[in-house]
Amino acid sequence: MLTLLRHASTMSNVHRLLPRLTVNRRLLQAVVDESRPCCALGFVEERKQRRAAIVLGLPQIEDRGQLGDGFRLGHQVAFIGKVCALRLDFLFERLTPLQVVLEPANDTVQCVIGAIVQSDAYFVLIVGAHGLTAFRADTKREERHRFGEVLREAAEPDGRQARFRALEQALSDVSPARTPLVWLGASDPGLLELSGAQAYELRPSG
């Protein structure tokens, strides 16, 4: 039985004037190389602080103006037995709503969403034909608490993968009008590194 547990939506405070950011070179390249709308989880370094990053690959974006002044991030959680799935919804004023379904028990999800839980901000990087735009989003206490609950409830019983796939399909079917995002790098911990040859610096432009 599919159980939709809860839905939450928060408007992100967006800061466009940003310092230099360090990202993972391979993660960025994987997003650039993907021809479909996609999502990857990772980290950025901002003023020597490591922060969670959600990277969206949107090849259809040709003008930064299409991104507007910010986005609304919502999430929905569903269960089959003790297996859960987390759907993130990105709502930009001028874009078709975007969604990605993640497996909370996945190590990368635990690491990156866990960093959002522990911090007051995270980044959303948009990669498109226009180049790259970075949003720094403040997190409220309530948002961190909700994501923390999702991670604590994630479990790994036998048959986890098959049940997650069923949840992924069910959550995608809830809102067929939304643009689904391909989840990249779910099983590649190297995409979380920010040191050595993997470090790539992004510099703000006018």
Q: Which residues of the chain have pLDDT under 50?
A: 1-15, 17
φ, ψ at 128 (rounded to 5°): -150, -170
- Distance, in Å, from the CA atom of 21 to the CA atom of 28, rounded to the nearest integer, reads 12
Q: Using one digit for the tens of pLDDT, what is the confidence trace for 169-178?
A: 766 765 557 7
The count of C-alpha atoms lying within 13 angstroms of the C-alpha of 109, restricted to the half-sphere facing its C-beta, is 23
The reported pLDDT for the residue numbered 36 is: 95
DSSP structural state of residue 13: P
Asked whether 38 and 182 are in contact (CB, 8 A), the reply is yes
Nearest to 65 by CA among 128, 113, 137, 10: 128
Hey, where are the domains in the chain? Answer: 2-182
The reported pLDDT for the residue numbered 65 is: 86
The reported pLDDT for the residue numbered 158 is: 53
Q: Using one digit for the tens of pLDDT, what is the confidence trace for 127-156?
A: 998 889 888 888 888 888 888 888 887 755
The reported pLDDT for the residue numbered 68 is: 82
The reported pLDDT for the residue numbered 109 is: 93
The reported pLDDT for the residue numbered 205 is: 65
Nearest to 102 by CA among 61, 111, 195: 111
DSSP structural state of residue 8: E
